[in-house]
């Protein structure tokens, strides 16, 4: 008899998988955490440089550090962790050996080769930052070629990591028949979009690689190709994060979605409908843009947050309904009913808070009247760190904290400390993000380690740079410790796990379906109000300033 997805917990699914699949998933989690470690240390060094604590002897050193920070975190950590999570979802859905296991190992090996090429190109040639602008390469073509070649190999690795998950999910559907489960449907959709990201990665850097090798002309459209790639790599991981929320919801609270499986499928599909087309807003920076494109981009940008806000509503409303069904009282009683001694619960809770904060800033950034003013300022990293680190990274770490005891037989050490770290990280991120947004609104450029310009810059830039550096340092230290806590069981340094079986409810409690859960919907309404207020405040501030930022290469 085939065991349905709803019958088993994530932990039970991991304990039941074949040893060869267990080794693959452990290896991918290990590689992903190693990439995150490296990227975080690079980010910490950049924060110290911004505060004047670390001063590179050569300017190139700082930009090499920034380049490797972006490559390690944005490309390798997210890609490897997403690949591992897709395999976890596939194993849970099928509860049988993974298909194409060898291809998964090949994908991990290709990712290692890609990183080695990117690091060699960065250290031996001109640092191109993670977008690899050919204009910076000049005549140093060899280092640039190795850097671009690394991205092409990474595209192959990302595709190879994804194919086993898709093949396994399709096999599960064939063997079970009937409709997709909500998580199974979301995982297949997510896997398909990851393949699209792999294709856009190759599409963005193949022309640059051919140029660096001397086989083609200068890639004049590199910026446009990069914008399409960045948009996919930045926003599509949110689908994986929301899918992880759906899976963790019953694990940490015993609650299931009160909206049902079909509504979850609609929410997941909205990512396919809204996220790829909204890349048009990146073209706001192009001069002489057709008015029709401006109108379409402006309209589409309004919908970019629809699927994530819908997932936010499903999660909060379901938690509240189930908690009230069990007797939770008061406006915040349903929040207090959660197990806040669990590090995974705290990481997920912090991710929800960061989603609200990052969503507000992202909505400001993508407006047509503001994009050209903000897109080459520090407003950009101020906003996207909330999403990339505050939401996606925190969610992936929550999944690992929940899963790794079942893969390794060991729990993460120091659970009390790990439970507090997500909020320390959020505090640092709040300093970094809000100070970065304020600095960007006043025209302070991004990708500079010293924004003082030898005393010629506005005083506010220097003050805000100090706050940005302090926030980044707090955020980086907190993330390093949380990552270390998640990683120690992988090397046998965790605490012995007590494998308690988690019996998941097959459906929402009937009483929960009759509860009035206004917390989630009220939060969404308040969030939309804050988005509008932040947009008005940013535009009012910038139009009153003598220093205005001009758009350039964007992200």
Instruction: Report mean pLDDT in 10-residue bins for the chain, 555 residues.
Output: 54 82 94 96 84 68 89 95 93 87 96 97 89 87 95 97 94 80 87 93 96 92 86 84 86 75 83 71 61 65 74 79 72 76 93 88 74 80 91 95 87 91 97 91 82 76 88 94 93 69 51 53 68 64 52 48
Contacts of 292 (CB under 8 A, 6+ apart): none
Task: Determine contact, residues 387/429, Cβ cutoff 8 Å.
Answer: no
Residue position matching structure tokens 């904060």: 357
258-555 and 1-235 share a CATH fold? yes
496 burial level (CB within 10 Å; 0-12, 13-18, 19+): exposed
**Distance between CA atoms of residues 47 and 41, nearest Å:** 10
Domain spans in the chain, listed from the N-terminal domain onward: 1-235, 258-555
Strands (E), 178-315: none
Its sign, for the CA torsion 515, 518, 523, 525, is positive
**Residue 550 Rama label (left phi>0; alpha psi -120 to 50; beta):** beta
Task: Determine contact, residues 409/459, Cβ cutoff 8 Å.
Answer: no
Architecture of domain 1-235: Up-down Bundle (1.20)
How is domain 258-555 classified at the CATH fold level?
A: Cytochrome C Oxidase; Chain A (1.20.210)
Give the per-residue pLDDT at 551.
Answer: 42
Nearest one of 33, 58, 80 to 127, comparing CA atoms = 58
Query: DSSP code of 181?
Result: P
Residue 157, both tokens: 């690795």
Give the per-residue pLDDT at 504.
Answer: 52
Q: HSE (CB half, 13 Å, CA atoms) of 159?
A: 13
Radius of gyration of the chain (CA): 23
Give the per-residue pLDDT at 263.
Answer: 81
391 burial level (CB within 10 Å; 0-12, 13-18, 19+): buried
- Cα 154 to chain center, whole Å? 18
Residue 41, both tokens: 């240390």
CA distances from 296 to 164, 275, 284 (A): 37, 14, 11
Nearest one of 193, 298, 280 to 237, comparing CA atoms = 193
Count the neighbouring beta carbons within 10 Å of the beta carbon of residue 347: 28
pTM here is 0.89
Task: Determine contact, residues 39/68, Cβ cutoff 8 Å.
Answer: yes
Secondary structure of residue 411 in the 3-state scheme: strand
Tell me the β-bridge partners of 337: none
Give the per-residue pLDDT at 108.
Answer: 96
Residue position matching structure tokens 């090798």: 213
**Distance between CA atoms of residues 439 and 15, nearest Å:** 49
Torsion of CA 171, 174, 177, 183, to 10 degrees: 30
**Distance between CA atoms of residues 237 and 9, nearest Å:** 23
Task: Determine contact, residues 207/149, Cβ cutoff 8 Å.
Answer: no
């Amino acid at each position: 008899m085939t065991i349905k997805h709803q019958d088993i917990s994530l932990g039970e699914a991991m304990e039941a998988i074949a040893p060869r699949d267990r080794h693959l998933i452990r290896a991918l989690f290990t590689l992903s955490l190693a990439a995150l470690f490296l990227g975080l240390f690079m980010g910490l060094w950049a924060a110290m440089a911004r505060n004047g604590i670390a001063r590179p002897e050569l300017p190139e050193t700082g930009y090499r550090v920034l380049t490797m920070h972006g490559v390690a975190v944005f490309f390798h950590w997210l890609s490897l962790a997403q690949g591992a999570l897709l395999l976890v979802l596939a194993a849970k859905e099928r509860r049988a050996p993974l298909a194409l296991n060898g291809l998964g190992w090949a994908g991990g090996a290709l990712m290692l080769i890609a990183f080695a090429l990117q690091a060699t190109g960065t250290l031996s040639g001109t640092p191109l930052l993670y977008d690899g602008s050919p204009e910076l390469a000049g005549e140093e073509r060899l280092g640039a070629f190795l850097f671009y070649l690394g991205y092409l190999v990474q595209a192959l690795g990302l595709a190879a990591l994804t194919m086993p998950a898709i093949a396994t999910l399709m096999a599960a559907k064939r063997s079970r028949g009937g409709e997709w489960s909500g998580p199974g449907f979301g995982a297949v959709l997510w896997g398909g979009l990851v393949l699209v990201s792999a294709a856009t990665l190759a599409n963005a850097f193949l022309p640059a690689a051919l140029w660096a090798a001397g086989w083609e002309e200068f890639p004049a459209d590199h910026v446009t190709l990069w914008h399409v790639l960045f948009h996919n790599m930045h926003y599509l991981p949110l689908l994986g994060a929301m899918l992880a929320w759906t899976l963790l919801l019953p694990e940490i609270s015993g609650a299931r979605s009160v909206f049902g499986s079909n509504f979850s499928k609609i929410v997941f599909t909205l990512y396919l409908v809204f996220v790829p087309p909204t890349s048009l807003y990146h073209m706001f920076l192009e001069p002489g843009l057709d008015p029709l494109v401006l109108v379409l981009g402006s309209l589409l940008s309004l919908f970019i947050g629809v699927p994530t806000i819908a997932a936010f509503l499903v999660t909060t409303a379901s938690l509240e309904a189930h908690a009230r069904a069990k007797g939770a009282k008061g406006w915040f009683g349903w929040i207090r009913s959660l197990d806040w001694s669990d590090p995974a619960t705290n990481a997920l809770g912090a991710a929800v808070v960061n989603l609200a904060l990052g969503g507000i800033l992202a909505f400001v950034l993508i407006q047509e009247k503001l994009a050209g003013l903000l897109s080459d300022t520090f407003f950009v990293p101020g906003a996207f760190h909330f999403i990339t680190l505050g939401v996606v990274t925190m969610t992936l770490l929550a999944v690992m904290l929940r899963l790794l005891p079942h893969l390794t037989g060991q729990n993460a050490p120091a659970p009390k400390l790990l439970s507090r770290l997500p909020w320390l990280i959020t505090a640092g991120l709040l300093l970094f993000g809000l100070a970065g947004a304020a600095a960007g609104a006043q025209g302070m450029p991004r990708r500079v380690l010293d924004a003082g310009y030898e005393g010629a810059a506005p005083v506010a830039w220097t003050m805000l740079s100090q706050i940005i550096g302090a926030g980044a340092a707090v955020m980086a230290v907190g993330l390093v410790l949380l990552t270390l806590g998640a990683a120690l069981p992988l090397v046998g340094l965790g605490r012995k796990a007590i494998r308690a079986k988690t019996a998941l409810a097959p459906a929402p409690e009937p009483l929960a379906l009759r509860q009035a859960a206004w917390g989630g919907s009220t939060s969404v309404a308040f969030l939309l109000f804050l988005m509008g207020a932040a947009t008005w405040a940013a535009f009012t501030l910038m139009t009153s300033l003598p220093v205005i930022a001009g758009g350039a290469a964007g992200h």
